[in-house]
């Protein structure tokens, strides 16, 4: 299978996944707007997964298209959720430490 088609299927799966959040935001009464950057990141994850699958010579047959799209969907959800959680853990701890140090400096300058 050519790389364009393999990546296209993964991108379609990513768009469906990201689209669910768009629908959720539209249906909710939350003042928060839809995050197009996160949407783009999800699409990029889909493209990367499609490329990796192509490089591993994953063959998609007409009978197995839906199975493959479901697999891409699951990989996108799993990888993006875990990588974003790890990213937030690392950088949130750093931000908390910076705030703690800034607070200590304020206390020293006041006291």
Integer Cα distance of 42 and 48 in angstroms: 10
In a domain, 110, yes or no: no
The pair of three-digit structure tokens given for residue 42, joined into one six-digit string: 């999800």
| 5 to 34, 56, 69, 76: CA distances (angstroms) | 28, 14, 11, 17
In a domain, 109, yes or no: no
In a domain, 100, yes or no: no
In a domain, 54, yes or no: yes
In a domain, 107, yes or no: no
The pair of three-digit structure tokens given for residue 12, joined into one six-digit string: 């379609």
In a domain, 92, yes or no: no
Domain that holds residue 28: 3-79
What are the pLDDT digits (tens) for 2-41? 667 777 888 888 888 888 877 877 777 766 677 788 888 8
Taking all residues of the chain, what is their mean pLDDT, rounded to a whole number? 80
Evaluate the CA torsion angle 46, 49, 53, 54 in order and state its sign.
positive
In a domain, 58, yes or no: yes
Number of folded domains that form the chain: 1
């Amino acid at each position: 299978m050519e790389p364009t088609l393999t990546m296209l299927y993964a991108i379609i799966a990513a768009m469906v996944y990201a689209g669910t959040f768009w629908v959720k935001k539209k249906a909710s009464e939350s003042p928060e707007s839809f995050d197009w950057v996160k949407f783009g990141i999800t699409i990029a994850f889909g493209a990367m997964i499609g490329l990796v699958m192509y490089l591993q010579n994953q063959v998609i047959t007409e009978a197995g298209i839906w199975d493959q799209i479901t697999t891409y969907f699951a990989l996108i959800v799993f990888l993006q959720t875990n990588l974003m959680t790890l990213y937030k853990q690392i950088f949130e701890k750093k931000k908390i430490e910076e705030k703690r140090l800034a607070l200590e400096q304020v206390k020293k300058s006041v006291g």
